[in-house]
Amino acid sequence: MGDFLVYGGICCSVAAVLYYIGKSPNRNAEILQSVPRCKLEDLAHLMDANILPRVVTISGRVVCEAPITGELSGLGGAIVEERVEEHHLKRDVEIKGKKESKGSVEPVTKKCGEADSWTPGYELKSVNHKEALWYLDDGTGRALVVRAWGGTGFELPVGSSTFENSTETRFHEKSDRIPFHEKSEHFQLIKILGFKRIERVLPVGTSLTVVGQPVRDSAGAIRIQRPHNGPFYVSQQTIDEHIENLKSVARWCQCVSVGLTVFGVSLIANALSHTSEDSVAVNCGKGTIH
């Protein structure tokens, strides 16, 4: 019965954690719902009248006067990210041998221990980020989006990749020595499969929704940037879709939390019930003996 108490306590603890986790997306959804949605033309009038909203929601298309052309995709984009990954197979090899003893040199026998199977993996070698000057245009005006790639939900939607084969093999020595009559050296055999180049682009004309702080620069142009305290959201999803996703996560956490709570309480109640019955049986047995 002790196991029931333990498992019941674990279920209730996990339920409490999920309950508090579910509060965060629900709170974020309420914050986004309260953010005013503006056209850039109306926003400009409000800013001219010194009525400056702290955070606004703007939707429009990406406009760039000098787009960057992707080398792999050939598309013109406002942002281009290039990544190079080294894909390889790894395998550990152990080589053993004996040391010299009392001035005499003993024959050294080297053998490979039982090597692990080849393990696939990759290593990021480089990331190159290029960004041109671009704006969000909603048909009534333009706004410069500052550091859009740091916003929640931001993704580069278009990707292309190419793979270059390689026949290179490398040995890496591990500093794993056993100080006694026998020493052991570990090596890691790395077989290079090739290099994968990945290119992701934010194409001109992409529809984006931005939630951020509106400000004017020294030239009087409107910029949308990350607020000091508030949401900063940049995504192809509409704000309504993002709010619904947050609410779905919150509902899932709450449902699972309730289910785990009910299950955990039933386990604890079952354990306590059996404990009570055992105590009654023991007391009855003592009374019969007397």
- Cα-to-chain-centroid distance, residue 81: 18
* Domain spans, the chain: 1-35+231-290, 59-228
What would the pLDDT profile of 31-90 be if each residue is shown by its tens digit?
999 999 999 998 888 888 887 778 999 999 999 999 999 888 888 899 999 999 999 888
Q: What is the pLDDT of residue 46?
A: 84
What is the spatial distance between Cα 65 and Cα 134, in angstroms, rounded to a whole number?
7
Identify the helix (H) or strand (E) that includes residue 31. Answer: helix 2-34
What is the spatial distance between Cα 241 and Cα 250, in angstroms, rounded to a whole number?
14
Instruction: Tell me the CA distances in angstroms from 272 to 103, 154, 162, 228, 283, one per residue in order.
Output: 72, 51, 63, 52, 17
The ranges of the chain with pLDDT < 70 are: 1-2, 94-116, 167-186, 274-290
What is the spatial distance between Cα 73 and Cα 63, in angstroms, rounded to a whole number?
19
Q: What is the pLDDT of residue 97?
A: 53
| Residue 150 DSSP class | G
Q: What is the pLDDT of residue 85?
A: 92
Q: What is the pLDDT of residue 182?
A: 46
Q: Tell whether pTM > 0.75.
A: no
